[in-house]
Amino acid sequence: MELTRLPLLKSALKSRYPQLAVFIVMLVGYIFAILAGLIGTPVGSHNFSIVFVWIGWWAILILVAVPFFGRGWCAVCPIPLPGEWLQRGAILSPPDKKPKWLNLRVPKMFRNIWLQNISFLLLALFSSVLLTTPNITGIILAAMLFTAIGLSMIFERRAFCRYLCPVGGFIGLYSQTAPIELRINDKQVCAKCEGKPCYNGNEKGYGCPWDVFPGGLTKNTYCGLCMECLRTCPHDNIALNLRPFAADLAKPSARMDEAFKAFIMLGSAMIYAGVLLGPWGALKDAAYNVGSGAWFVYAAAFLAIIFVVLPGTFRLMIFPSPIGRGAALSPSKGAGVRAFAALSNSLIPLGLMFWVAFSLSFVLTNASYIFAALSDPLGLGWNLFGTANIAWQPILTSILAPAQTLSLVGGLAWSARTAQRSAQEAHVSSVPVVVYCFIVTAFMLWLLL
């Protein structure tokens, strides 16, 4: 169903003002979160930066925005804005043709999501500190803002979003499961289109800031839903569609950077569930005391699980012998690698649901801090809305376990279905992938329940 057929929605998306209004609110909130982190109370659960970023924003992102709107968050994210405005030399006015800054192309070797994989892992290894220490959160938020500005000065378009943002990597990965997509209506129109203004820009708007040619879109991963192409396309050929969930995974991509992203996210969800929500104090100590011997062991184990244990088992299960079944059919080594990468795509729905199940527990337990932090964002004893003294109380504890089971079992079924399709494309059996998914799901159930 084409949402952009709705005239009201279409003009709201085409106009720059509604988007700008949201941008400004987000940017103000973001800057406030940085300041709160830096000058507010060091007690995380009473500081706006921790409570609104890691409980509020995180809950909305992983429970609503990503599953239902894909890269919807990126459409309103404040992080790249100052850089983008500087790069354009404008906030609202139409582009003028001269690039204001260096406007370089990102080197080919970086045009993949390995840097995002690394930036995510760097944050993940320090996450116990990041999640609980306001000034670290403030510093990281500020660092992302300034890195984005810096990269906008050096490179063209949104280099930070495309290649570095630690959040953007997994939003892109999981956005493929969302029931929403931006696509072209008619390939023929694009083929005949002069100058491809959706990519190169025109007087109506900027060329795709995400360095995507909308005419070639087959998956959501790299389209930031910024709506520029809706504005620039002279042939009205851009549509925002409602579609079945996970439609992008029907044609799995075979890129190793994306395959490893799937393992990174799956593994991190399990590790977080064990370390943060588990009863093992020694693990928490190791994760929190960054720089200690125990932390190095923890970090090594973290990386080993993500880069060796999970993908290694997967590889062994789908191709038990060195010359695997995928390779047997088409005897190049590349075919085996492609089959590995394509099959790893089946882990995407499961990974998303792992994060949902983990986050449900974390968010429902700590949601009541939001009310207190709303009235006293800096932890200075204010009481703006009279809610500062609302006591901590977990909410909806009785539905937590059933909801977690539902997400995990649902994710398992969803991934198993996806595996059946990917396996068909790769000409291998889906059974090992399904069994793999079952094993990790059972483990996650044990960790969470």
Partner 1 sequence: MAWILLGLLAAVVAFAPLPALSSPPQARTLRQGSAQAFEIDARQFAYSPSELKVNTGDTVTIQLVSADVVHGLYVDGYDVSVEADPGQSATLTFVADKPGSFRFRCNITCGAMHPFMIGKLTVGSNDWLYRSIGFSILAIIGILLFPRSTPITNYQLPPTDH
Q: Can you give the binding site for ligand SF4, defined by CB under 6 A?
A: 73-74, 77, 79-80, 160-161, 165, 167-168, 171, 182, 184, 189-190, 193, 196-198, 208, 210, 212, 214-215, 223-229, 233, 235, 237-238
Q: Do residues 406 and 357 lie in contact, with contact meaning Cβ atoms separated by under 8 Å?
A: no
Residue-wise burial string across 207-226, b where 16 or more C-beta atoms lie within 10 A, e elsewhere: bbbbbbebbebebbbbbbbb
Q: Which one among 107, 244, 322, 381 touches partner 1, defined by CB under 8 A?
A: 244
Which does residue 437 touch among partner 1, ligand SF4, none (CB within 5 to 8 A, set by kind)? partner 1
Beta strands in 225-327 (DSSP E): 238-242
Burial (Cβ within 10 Å: 0-12, 13-18, ≥19) of residue 382: exposed
Q: How far apart are CA 324 and CA 331, in angstroms?
A: 9
137's contact among ligand SF4, partner 1, none, with CB below 5 to 8 A by partner kind, is: none
Which positions from 180 through 209 interact with partner 1, judged by CB under 8 A? 183, 185-186, 189
* Closest C-alpha to 102, from 159, 157, 158, 154: 154
Alpha carbon dihedral 257, 261, 263, 264, in 10-degree steps, equals 120
Instruction: Report what 255 binds from partner 1, ligand SF4, none; CB cut-off 5-8 Å by kind.
Output: none
Instruction: Pick what 345 binds: ligand SF4, partner 1, none; C-beta below 5 to 8 Å, kind-dependent.
Output: none
Assign 3-class secondary structure to 370-415. HHHHHHCCCCCCCCCCCCCCCCCCCCCHHHHHHHHHHHHHHHHHHH
Under DSSP, is residue 181 helix (H, G, I), strand (E, B) or coil? strand
Contact residue for partner 1 among 277, 309, 380, 395 (CB under 8 A)? 277
Taking CB under 8 A as the rule, does residue 412 contact partner 1?
A: yes
Query: Does residue 397 touch partner 1 according to CB under 8 A?
Result: yes
Q: Does residue number 321 form part of the binding site for partner 1 (CB under 8 A)?
A: no
Q: Is 422 in the site for partner 1 (CB under 8 A)?
A: no
Contact residues: partner 1, CB under 8 A: 1-2, 43-46, 128-129, 132-133, 183, 185-186, 189, 235-237, 239, 241, 243-244, 246-247, 250-251, 275-282, 284-285, 288, 362, 365-366, 392, 394, 397-398, 400-401, 405, 408-409, 412-413, 416-417, 420-421, 424, 430-431, 434-435, 437-438, 441-442, 445-446, 449
